[in-house]
Structure 1
Amino acid sequence: MSVQLERSPGLGRNELLLATVRHVWLPHLVGLTLLVLFILGLFHQTLWSIVDKWANAETYAHGFFIVPISAWLIWRRREALLKIVPRPDAWAVPIMVALGFVWILGELATVELVQQYAVVAMLITSVWLVAGPRLVRACGFPLFFLLLAVPFGYFLVPSLMQFTADWAITLVRLSGVPVYREGLTFTLPTGTWSVIEACSGLRYLIASFTLGCLYAYLIYRSWGRRALFVLASIVVPIIANGLRAYLIVMIGHLSSMRLATGIDHIIYGWVFFGMVMLILFWIGGFWREDTADTKEYPDRVGGFREYPLDSATLGGKWSAMVRMAMLIGLVAILLAAVPFYVTHVKSSQARATGAGLALPAELRGWRTQAKPFVEWAPHYTGLTEARAQSYVSSAGPIGLYVGLYRDQEEGAELIAWENEIVFNKHTSRGKWYRVAEWQRSIRLTNGQALTVPVTRITNDERYLDVWHWYWVAGQFTASKLVAKALTLGARLMARFDAAALVTVYVPVDQSEPDPQQKVLAFIQEALPAIEQNLTAAVGG
């Protein structure tokens, strides 16, 4: 029957397509829809966190377009995809289980980005499970393009801000204009500028990378040209953002700060970015490859007889449907256990029940001061308790700040993107901002050395050197990654995950530009009492 149907002169193109969808693809599309809806419902909080970033962070607003673009890319290749016989593949099951485990790790370590990538990867793997690896290869880019919907890259902001400041200041000096720099703030004869988060160029970089990937896929066929263009879409906006900052500063300088200091600052930036992208695409067009690769684009060749509507395909339809249903049911059962396991781990986790947080009152060679020598505190949100104390000796004043998270949870955790010594998102003159950062080594109570960051900050009236490190589940570390790993390990072992920020800060003046020895002496004297008080505060 199928052979006659294939070769029947009265069967048109659209009729054959509809018959293929109805007899071959419809059960698999239904199965895929059910599996996707199950994943969306099971991990709805993770998916909502992605949409929330799209809606509330301009940097990631492009995420609303990723799914429609991916759907369009798949739709434009529908004839080629319909020629593939969908075959459910059991090898996708362990991948789905592994992604569920990755989601668990992200949940226990409170790393939202890991959870988001895990769920999106589950959706992609669903296609593999229902239709097989051949279909995934045939529409690989549209599927993996979905990964760009995950809000990614915020960790690049400090590095991008630093590069933008370096690039802009270098170009200003080459232009013959004197510049005085303090960290990310620099002063010209006509005014003062600061490189803040919005100046980092992250939104330009992400927009350029997303458009660059799409452009390279549509215009080029060879992987070499695609890779080169994507690389250009990363490098060009970073350099262009530094040039943009330079041009805005020079416009403000040459106009005596009448231009490029308000909304026109943002307008100039987007206009310049648009011009850069147009030039990048125009240059990239000189090497476009309009001739399709028949292996990659089989819809450009062949006739109707290549559609899989034959007796063998129809005969195996029911066995494929049964196999697909069994695999979907197995995956649903295994994934459904994921949130229950997380709930079990959290419910069995030990809770901190110690006394209130206290700071050392008696230190050899140091006495406490009732009045703090400076009004400053690190920008850490969701703290359970925080204590600050000023001390003084013959060497001068010094400050100690300890912020405690007794039981970490989402929105109240030690390592979070908004937790910083100074929060530069809305930095302006008159507020504390970062000037420089370096590293120093301190000696822990167990004799081990710990390298900690030292940040010099200022509010334009005075300078502070801030030494800080972390205490997590009973251990000291200065690494954010290690702090996250210690939190995860504590939760997996059902131990308390209490954590704290320990900060020592000291004023800097002309007579003592580097008070390192004073700080080291204070830390050596205070650290045993700090560790003892933290342990007591969490009931350890």
Structure 2
Amino acid sequence: MNTLAHRNSPALIYGSALAVALAVIFVLFFDTLKSIVGIWNSSETFAHGYVILPISLWLVWQRRSTLASTPVTPYWPALLLLLGTGLAWLLADLGGVQVVQQYAVVAMIPITVLALLGKEIALALAFPLLFLLLAVPFGEIFIDPLIGWTADFTVTALRATGIPVLREGTNFIIPTGSWSVVTACSGVRYLIASFTLGCLYAHLTYRSRLRQFLFIVLAIVVPIIANWIRAYMIVMIGHLSGNELATGVDHLIYGWLFFGLVMLLMFWLGSLWREAPAETAAAAMTDRAAIHPNSVSSGRHAAVTAATIVLCLALWPGYSRYLATAGQSDKPVAIGAFRTTWQTGSAFTTWQPAFTQARAGFRQVYEHDAHPVGIDLLYYRNQDRRSMLITSANRMVAEEDPVWRVIGSERRQEQIAGTQLAVREARIEGPGPRIVVWSWYRVADRFVISDYVGKLLQARSKLLMQGDDGAAIMVFAPYQENPEQARTALRAFLNDNLASVDAALASNKSAGSSPVATARQEVANEQIR
């Protein structure tokens, strides 16, 4: 009886300590975890997230015999990893990068297990713990390239079939109608579902790391190619049926049926190389089960380790709240007309960017030598989820907009006022003339087009308690057939007015200007004079 009590006591102590540590993660980072569930609820693409935790728990339960015979020894170096994930969460919180926050919080779970229970336990539970990372909604970054690849393949296959195609961006026209490759056609849902199932299947079916890796690669490649074939088949079904079939909701149904058949075929092929599970030596298991008292750390070690873990976790949310308060500014934002030699013109388009609510905005049309150019300035301060400068929710055209659509986009380097200016170009079609839009951000006294660079600059500013001010700058001009006509007008406008626009935005900065900002301001003022 005493031996049994001795063996069960450490398991109870460490189990309780682990439960407390995981509960602390849940409480301290509740908003981040809530954001994960919120995306599961709002997007069918990530609805699989609900089954990740139950599957991980089931996999842990399958290893209960191995766990019962594995020594428990806290691994203190893992606390450095825990501090690293906490710092990553803080920087992502300051920069408003939700997906990094989510990955950081979920990664805290396996790291906590490693720190508290030790390397042997963490290694035994490596797959169930790492499988939790698949609960994080990630993959939207692949939508645009997947859309492009799908459009490329579909158009190429149609032409190879002998069907004439007129293409513009991701939109194309064939003799029987017009088609567009949109988000639902990108195949990202199939890719994410296939990758998740492929990881689980490879783990349960193979012991060889090489076979596991090759099957996971297969689970990535197959749905991408299958989606290309699916898109081509849908267009062909619509073409041959006079657009009676595969043109509405039914083409999504065809897509999932086709995807299901492809997955069944892939798993069937994978089963041909199935490996038998490794045999467990009962005698060896029995020997390991007789744990020596010295192979399990004391309850005092468990308490100290758990307390240190809680301290490492609690540091970051508290510091984040302090920085958020210290960086807030009540200074009003006022963006008015800037000094320019161009004349005020008449609106030539009703297009507006689909951005979150800004603190202040300015929109005007100017004209010079019969060339109209519009400008849209959106200024952000004290940002939150509802008002954010850099977020995937901000688009030139809202997703599924019934009127406007982007027919082409690219990044450009333009020579403006003797310097290189990087811009994002979007060509937009809708009522009235087509327009070319050049856009970029102004963050921390710098012009940037990269969301990642912009987020890092915002995080640095907030970390230095210099506020989170930033602005989106958009200039746009009309064209009929050749977009170079609009580009010429935009270059002329920016050559004459970029310094004035920059000065107008810089005057609203809430925190003290850096030397770089001061120098830029002096140059701008000199150019204006």
Structure-1 separation of matches of 2:212 and 2:6: 33
Q: Which residue of 2 aligns with 1:324?
A: 302
Q: 1:32 aligns with which of 18, 36, 54?
A: 18
Identity over aligned pairs, percent? 39
Question: What is the SS of the residue equivalent to 1:151?
Answer: coil
Distance, in Å, in 2 between the alignment partners of 1:108 and 1:43 is 15
Q: What is the distance in 2 between the residues matched to 1:465 and 1:433?
A: 12
What's 1:305 paired with? 286
Asked if 1:49 is matched to 2:35, the reply is yes
CA distance in 2, matches of 1:273, 1:333: 47
- Give the gaps of 5 or more residues in structure 1: 6-17
Deviates further, 301-310 or 245-254: 301-310
Amino acid at match of 2:300: V
Determine if the alignment matches structure 1 residue 402 to structure 2 residue 388. no
Of 360, 369, 383, 2:358 maps to 383
User: Aligned partner of 2:408: which letter?
Assistant: A
Contact preservation (8 Å) 1:433, 1:459: yes
SS at match of 1:221: coil
Q: Counterpart amino acid of 1:500?
A: A
2:340 corresponds to: 363
Pairing 1:454–2:425 present: yes
CA, structure 1 residues 458+475, in 2 after alignment: closer, same or farther (shift >3 Å)? same
Secondary structure of the equivalent of 1:501?
strand
Q: What is the identity, as a one-letter code, of the residue corresponding to 1:305? A: T
- Alignment-derived partner of residue 147 in structure 1: 133
For 1:157-214, what per-residue CA distance to the aligned partner results, in whole angstroms no more than 9, with x for missing partners?
A: 1111111111111111111111111211111222221111111111100000000000
1:462 Cα shift?
Answer: 2.6
> Which deviations, in whole Å up to 9, do the C-alpha atoms of 1:117-170 show, x marking residues without a partner?
111111111211221011111121111001001111111111111111111111
Corresponding position: 1:191 with 2:143: no
The partner residue of 1:518 within 470, 489, 497 is 489
The CA distance in 2 between the partners of 1:352 and 1:489, in whole Å, is: 20
* Residue type of the alignment partner of 1:67: L
Q: Distance in 2 between matches of 1:320 and 1:462?
A: 76
- How far residue 453 of structure 1 moved from its aligned partner, in angstroms, is 1.9
Q: Distance in 2 between matches of 1:101 and 1:325?
A: 24
User: How far did residue 357 of structure 1 move?
Assistant: 1.1
Question: Map of 1:478-517 to 2, 5 A cutoff?
Answer: 478-510=449-481, 513-517=484-488
1:98 aligns with 2:69: no
User: Where do 1:35-184 residues align within 5 Å?
Assistant: 35-184=21-170
Count, aligned residues: 511
Q: Does the alignment pair 1:243 with 2:215?
A: no
User: Closer, same or farther in 2 for the Cα pair 1:479/1:359, shift >3 Å?
Assistant: farther
**Residue number in structure 1 paired with 2:408:** 436
For residues 325 and 42 of structure 1, the distance between their equivalents in structure 2, rounded to whole angstroms, comes to 19
1:263 to 249, 253, 272: 249
Match of residue 440 from structure 2: 469
Distance 1:37 1:306 in 2: 34
Cα separation, 1, equivalents of 2:432 and 2:172: 16
Q: Is the alpha carbon distance of 1:265 and 1:47 closer, same or farther for their aligned partners in structure 2, counting shifts above 3 Å?
A: same
Report the AA paired with residue 336 of structure 1: A
Q: Over residues 433-469 of structure 1, what are the superposed CA-to-partner deviations in whole Å (9 max), with x where a residue is unaligned?
A: 1112233323567x54122121111127531111111
Rounded to whole Å, the distance in 2 between the matches of 1:168 and 1:432 is 23
Distance 1:110 1:21, change over 3 A: farther
Deviation at 1:507, TM superposition (A): 0.9
Contact 1:469 1:477 (C-alpha < 8 Å) held by counterparts: yes
1:420 matched residue in structure 2: 395
Larger deviation, residues 44-53 vs 473-482:
473-482
Q: Give the letter for the 1:517 counterpart.
A: T
Residue of structure 1 in register with 2:313 after alignment: 335
For the 8 Å contact 2:69–2:285, the answer to whether it is kept is no
Aligned counterparts of 1:291 and 1:46: Cα–Cα separation in 2: 38
Identify unmatched segments of 5+ residues in structure 2: 514-529
Q: Which residue of 2 aligns with 1:8?
A: none
